[in-house]
Structure 1
Amino acid sequence: MWTDDELAKVFVYIHSRAIGLPEKRPAPQISPDTLPLDLNDISSAVRDQLGAAITAKSSDVVEAALGLALLFDVPLSVYFDLSCQLVTEDWHISQEDIIRLLQDAEDARAIPFLRTAIDLKPRLEHLAHDDYGSYYKKCLWALSAIGTPDAIAVIRDCVNSEIAPLREEAEYRLSKIQGPGARCD
């Protein structure tokens, strides 16, 4: 796993390449050859670092590895299994980013992990402010994008939730799937 100094270099590199820096601040001079990874094998680096992050429960490494994956267009297939595992863990802050990746993948193997992610939400301290259900909305969008009968069944189950934002979002999502006037029960 990356050391703190290596991780800092990776973060600076990602942010300077992906989002740029304000014009008043000069771009940091980080040469790709000083990064703690082989840019010719970025897929392996992403997978290795995500695996190490899971073992060490390092939120920062998860964030850096996902940032590299997005920056270098690493196919989700390279780290799909690790993403499914990570979306069910409460020790990092990247659940919403991972949910979006799983939504884009539209892979039915993610269904049970998304179900667990829904149940995980009350334990996610970094989302305590989410009173309006945006986290639930993202989970349900991902299930809707997958669109299989099993995915829709999870959404149907959420209609019976005691958690109002989840229940309301599930009802709304089902109405979009089934069309106007459809019943959600």
Structure 2
Amino acid sequence: MNIFLSAELAYSISARDQKNLENCISMALICGLPHDFSVALCQIMKDEWHLSHEDIVTIIEIQKYIEGVDCLYDAAIREYPYPISDEFSALGIKCVYALKTLGNPSTRRWMGTGV
């Protein structure tokens, strides 16, 4: 299953297929996350062709992907072109909680010493 999900994720990214990306993320959350998911998802976190940014944050947090700290920080302060303005703050808050969960020296650099 993990090989299939990794291949589907690669396809979704290369084709910029939003619906397939959403399906792929849902399947991964249900069936188990391939180890390479966070790496690939961090690469598309800034992209605006999809609306899966909150799901990406969830995966980074679940996988405790320490290399995703900069990705999370950038997403927390970035403004995405969502039609509903509440999405911005929800994503930022989710990123802050994910950074806190990761809780390593890199996250302390972004959040101060209170982590």
Aligned residues with identical type, % of pairs: 20
Residue of structure 1 aligned with 2:16, choices 31, 46, 57? 57
Counterpart for residue 101 of structure 2: 145
1:125-144 correspondence runs (5 A): 125-126=81-82, 128-130=84-86, 133-144=89-100
Q: In 2, Cα distance between the equivalents of 1:107 and 1:50? A: 17
Counterpart for residue 31 of structure 2: 72
Q: In 2, Cα distance between the equivalents of 1:81 and 1:131? A: 24
Residue of structure 2 aligned with 1:109, choices 67, 75, 83? 67
Give the unaligned 5+ runs of structure 1: 1-41, 157-173, 178-185
Residue of structure 1 aligned with 2:111, choices 152, 155, 159? 155
- If the length of structure 2 is used for normalisation, what is the TM-score? 0.85
CA 1:72–1:131: 2 relative to 1, 3 Å: closer
Give the unaligned 5+ runs of structure 2: none
Amino acid corresponding to residue 55 of structure 2 in structure 1: D
CA 1:94–1:133: 2 relative to 1, 3 Å: same
Higher Cα Rg, which structure:
1
Q: In 2, Cα distance between the equivalents of 1:101 and 1:114? A: 11
Superposition deviation, residue 131 in structure 1: 7.1
The answer to whether the 8 A contact 1:76-1:105 is kept is no
Counterpart for residue 50 of structure 2: 92
1:40-51 correspondence runs (5 A): 42-51=1-10
The answer to whether the 8 A contact 2:22-2:52 is kept is yes
Superposition deviation, residue 127 in structure 1: 5.8
The answer to whether the 8 A contact 2:12-2:21 is kept is yes
**Partner secondary structure for residue 77 of structure 1:** coil
Give the number of equivalent residue pairs.
115
